[in-house]
A and B are shown apart, each in its own frame.
Chain A
Amino acid sequence: MNNITVVRKLFRLSWNALMANPMRSFLTTLGIIIGSLTIIIVVALGEGAKKNIEQQYSSMSVTTILINAPSTVDGAASKLSYTDVEPIKQLPSIETAIPQLSGRVQIQYDGQSSNLSVLGTTPNIQQLASLKLTKGRFFTEEENDTHEKVAVIGAIVAEELFGNRNADVIGKTITVGKKEFEVIGLLEYKGGSVGPTTIDDSIFTPYSSTYRYVLGINGRFNMNAQAKDVKLISQAVDEISKSLRETHKLKPGMNDDFRVRDMGTTVSAAVNSSRTMSVLLASVGIVVLLVGGIGIMNIMYVTVTERTKEIGIRKAIGAQSEYILFQFLFEAFILSLVGFLIGCILSFGVYFLLNNLEVSVVLVWWSYVLSFFTTVSIGIFFGWYPAHKAASLNPIDALRYE
C-alpha cells in the first residue's frame, strides 16, 4: 500500500465523516462559500471597471489634454468659449486643439425618433480621436466656416435610425432638433469615447452650424488639445492655463474658471481609484474567509470532542498520530475545498446576474487561483489545531470517554 492509497483512504474516511452530518458540514462551509465567492466577484468587478476605463479612454492618446469648465465657479458662468480655441492652437507645445459643443437632441429620420448626443466640433477631431469612416467623408474646415448643415454619424446612431450599423446612410436627410442635416459620413464602430461623449452613439456636426441651429448657448462647451510630444504634456498644461488666464483676464489670486487635465493623469487617477476599491473589497472577502475559517475550527473542535472515543479505538488498534492528524486535517481541507468549489459555481451565477444588470464584470482565471489558495490555506490553518488536539489524545483517556 503506497502513500497515495493511504491518502485516498484517509480522504474517504474524512469524507464519510462529513457526510454523516451533511447539514452541519454545509453550514460550516457556508462562510467559506461566501468568502471565496466574494474574492472572485470582487476581482471580476475590479477587472470590469478597469476594462470600462480602458474602453472609455481607448480612443484618446496620452498626449490629449482635456479643457473644460467646472459647472459653476463661484456662481459665475465660465468664460471658456470658442474664441479660446485659436490662441491655444498657437501655443508652442500644442499640436492642435478642438472645440466640443455637446448636448442631447431629438433626432428624427423617416418616422424614427431618438434622443442622441450631438457634438459640434472641427474636422481636426478626426485626427485627435483617430476616427475612421466606413462610408462617405468627414466635414471640412470650409463647411464649418460656412455653417453647412452636414453630419457624420456613429455606428450606433446608424443602427437606431437606419436599422443597422452598415446601412446606406450617405445623402439621407435627418432632422437634428428642428433643422435638417445631410448625412455625409458613417463612422466605424469603436466602443470608446471622446471625453464625456461616446463616439458610437454621437452625431458629429460642424461647430458653427451646431451653435447656430441646434444647441446655441444650451450646449456644453469644452475643448480637447493635443500636445506635440509626450515629454511636452506638463509644459502644454501650463501654457494652456497661462493663456486662458490671460484671455479670461483673471487677476493673480483669482481661481481658474476652467480645468485642464492631461489624459495620462486622468486615466491613472481612474485606474487608481478602481484599484483602491478592489483592494478594499478583496480585504472584505478575506475577512469573510477568516470568519469562515474560525467556523471550521469551531466545528472541528466539536467533532474531535464527539469522536474522542473513536480516536481512542483507532489509537488502541495501532493508528499512528499522523493518521489521526491527517484524517481530521483532511476534514477541514475538504470543508474548505468544497466551499471553494461551490463558491466557484456560484460565481458563474453571480456573473450572469450582474451581466444582465449591465454591471461590467470580467471573470479572470487568477481570481480563482487566489481564492483557491486563500481558502485552502485558511482551512488547513484553522483545521490544524483541532486535528493536532485529536492526534495527541491519550488513548487510555480517549477509550474511557463516553
Chain B
Amino acid sequence: MTNTLLSLKKIVKSYQIKSETYHILKSLDIEIKRGDFVAIMGPSGSGKSTLLNIIGCLDSPSSGSYILEDKNVSRLSERELAVIRNIHIGFIFQNFNLISSLSVIDNVLLPSFYLGKENYKRAKELLESMGLSDRSAFKPNELSGGQKQRVAIARALMNNPSFLLADEPTGALDSKTGKEIMDLIVDLNTKQGKTILMVTHDPLIAKRAHSIIHLQDGKIVHE
C-alpha cells in the first residue's frame, strides 16, 4: 500500500453543446496522501463542482486518469462506480441529504445495506460517538441542523471509507454550530487519521485544512 490515496493526472472534462466545446476542467493534476486534509476553493464556475463529482466518482472525466487506492477508476461503468462510492467514499453534503422517510439509525445503516452487510452495531457506535444515541429512532425532521449533519457524518463513516468528501459542510449551519461541525471534522482527521477533502468558499474554514487547492477557470491557480 503506497502512501498516495488518490491521484488525478491530466484530468479534462469538456462538454459538447452543438458545435461548441466547453472545457470545464483543463488538465488538472492532483495528488492526495493518506491522512491528508485538503480544502478546494474557487469561485462559482471555476469547475469546483465538476471536480468534486469526478473525485466523488459520480462522474467520469473526458480524459486523464484517476487512480484511487491503486485502481484506475476513470473508465469504470456506472455500476462499478456505485461500488467504489459505497466502499471508498463518505459523502458529507451542505444540505445533509438525509432520507426523510427513514429513521436516524436507518439513514446511518443505509451504506452498509447497499454493501450487502447491514452492521447495526457499528451504526449504534457511530451515533454514540456523535452524541446522538438517544435520537436513533427519530426522523431527520425532528433534529436540529447540527444534529442532522452529525447523522450525515455518521452515515459517511459507516463503511469505513478511504476518504471523506465534504461539500460545504457548514454552509447551511449558523456559525456556532458550523464551528462545532468543523471541530468534529478536524478531529476525525487528527484523532482517527481520516483523509478529508473539503470544498468550501469560506477562507476561514479552508484554513483549518493542511493544504488548499485554488481553482479558477478549470485550472489550479496555486496550491
Contact = CB atoms under 8 A, between A and B. Distances in A.
A5 B113 CA distance: 10
B56 A316 contact: yes
B86 A317 contact: yes
Interface residues of B, number: 29
B101 A317 contact: no
Given A395-B58, A396-B59, A317 B118 contact: no
Interface string B42-83: 000000000001001011000000000000000000110011
B37 interface: no
B111 A317 contact: yes
B217 to A, nearest CB: 21
Nearest to B117: A1
B203 interface: no
A318 B86 contact: yes
A17 B56 CA distance: 28
Interface in A1-21: 1, 5-6, 9, 13, 16-17, 20
A6 B109 CA distance: 13
Nearest to B155: A317
A16 B99 CA distance: 12
A147 B100 CA distance: 92
B58 A396 contact: yes
Among A314, A318, A323, max chain B CB count under 10 A is at: A318
B170 to A, nearest CB: 19
A13 B114 CA distance: 13
A295 to B, nearest CB: 22
B163 interface: no
Nearest to A21: B101
B87 interface: yes
A190 B62 CA distance: 86
B36 to A, nearest CB: 22
Contact of A314 (B53, B93, B110, B159): B110
Contact of A310 (B59, B82, B99, B116): B99
B118 A9 contact: yes
Contact of B110 (A1, A17, A20, A317): A317
Interface residues of A, number: 24
A44 to B, nearest CB: 40
Contacts of A399: 58, 93, 97
Interface string A210-227: 000000000000000000
A153 B43 CA distance: 105
Contact of A317 (B53, B59, B91): B91
B85 A318 contact: yes
Interface string A8-46: 010001001100100000000000000000000000000
A377 interface: no
Contact of B87 (A312, A313, A318, A321): A318
A70 to B, nearest CB: 71
Contacts of B85: 316-318
Given A316-B85, A318-B85, A9 B97 contact: no
Nearest to B56: A316
Contacts of A50: none
B115 interface: yes
Contacts of A312: 97
Given A9-B118, A17-B101, A317-B85, 17 more contacts: A1-B117, A5-B118, A6-B116, A9-B113, A13-B102, A16-B101, A16-B102, A312-B97, A314-B99, A316-B56, A316-B58, A316-B85, A318-B82, A318-B85, A319-B86, A320-B83, A399-B58
Interface of A: 1, 5-6, 9, 13, 16-17, 20, 309-310, 312-321, 323, 395-396, 399
Interface of B: 53, 56, 58-59, 78-79, 82-83, 85-87, 91, 93, 97-102, 110-111, 113-118, 155, 159
